[in-house]
Amino acid sequence: QSALTQPASVSGSPGQSITISCTGTSSDVGSYNYVSWFQQHPDKAPKLMIYEVSNRPSGVSNRFSGSKSGNTASLTISGLQAEDEADYYCTSYKSSSTPFVFGTGTKVTVL
Amino acid sequence: EVQLVESGGGLVQPGGSLRLSCAASGFTFSDHYMDWVRQAPGKGLEWVGRIRNRADSYTTDYAASVKGRFTVSRDDSKNSLYLQMNSLRTEDTAVYYCVRDSGTYYLDYWGQGTLVTVSS
């Protein structure tokens, strides 16, 4: 169960935009429009931020957006705020017997 | 409001067993697939296993790392999900999360997690 590849860390100043990449293979990210993104603050449970590549659940700020090209998905946070400082994980559907593969995680730091 | 509350974590010796429980409320539990996801200390998320709903015969799937040792089960009459963990190894040390499956290929609601520590 190989993990999807994310950068270990991304940083930005308040108000800036940052983008986190999530690279998989033609067997997961490249095959399905079922990429999700989770935000996790320290010692807290993950929170769904984006599903099905670019959809936001109710209550999630429109500063969060998602996209996909080929085997790579991306999460963009615009108008970066201090509260966005957290770990972010992508996940993709892979198969019926191994439904979810997670990314390696990215620590976002607000400078 | 969807709520998932895990319990049953603790310290166990290598080779031992432990059963985790997850109490669900705020949604029609019996309609949903349910999953377990774990996170080792300071590490990333790892999908552990899933159980489908009654319509799909309560079938289960597991990550290769736990297959044959862990069993996911559910009791729809009690709105509860379980994870039976046998032959535990030190590398199974993690926070275990109970997670609702949306039904359309993504996980949506997570419990707060329960810590399992495997150590002698």
Dump the DSSP string for chain B.
--EEEEE--EEE-TT--EEEEEEEESS-GGGS-EEEEEE-TTS-EEEEEEE--GGGTT-EEE-TTTTTTEEEEEEGGGTEEEEEE-S--GGG-EEEEEEEE-SSS-EEEE---EEEEE--
The residue in chain A having the minimum alpha-carbon distance to the alpha carbon of residue B100 is A48
Which pLDDT score is estimated for B32? Answer: 97
User: Taking Cα atoms as reference points, which of B89, B29, B41, B44 lies closest to residue B65?
Assistant: B89
> Residue A86's pLDDT band (boundaries 50, 70, 90)?
very high
CB contact under 8 A, A96 and B108: no
For chain A, list residues whose CB is within 8 angstroms of any CB belonging to chain B: 1, 3, 32, 34, 36, 38, 44-48, 51-52, 57, 89, 91, 93, 96-105
The mean pLDDT value for B101-112 works out to 91
Interchain pair A99, B106: CB under 8 A = no
CA B100 vs CA A1, A66, B2, B81, B92: distances in Å: 21, 22, 9, 10, 21
d(CA B92, CA A89) in angstroms, rounded, equals 20
A37: pLDDT strictly greater than 90 = yes
Q: What is the rounded average pLDDT of the residues A36-42?
A: 97
Do residues A108 and A88 lie in contact, with contact meaning Cβ atoms separated by under 8 Å?
A: yes
Rounded mean pLDDT, B46-68: 96
Q: What is the pLDDT of residue A2?
A: 77
pLDDT at A13 over 90: yes
Rounded to an integer, what is the distance from CA B63 to the centroid of its chain? 12
Confidence band for B8, pLDDT divided at 50, 70 and 90:
very high
Cα separation, B35 vs B110, whole angstroms: 10
pLDDT (mean) for A13-19: 97
Looking at chain B, the whole-number percentage of residues with pLDDT higher than 70 is 100
Residues A89, B45: C-beta atoms closer than 8 Å: yes
What confidence score (pLDDT) does residue A1 get?
59
Percent of chain A with pLDDT over 90: 92
B97 close to B6: Cβ distance less than 8 angstroms: yes
Spell out which residues of chain B touch residue A97, defining contact as CB-CB under 8 Å: 61
Measured between CA atoms, the residue of chain B closest to residue A56 is: B108
B61 touching chain A per CB within 8 A: yes
- The minimum CA-CA distance between A105 and chain B, rounded to whole Å, is 6
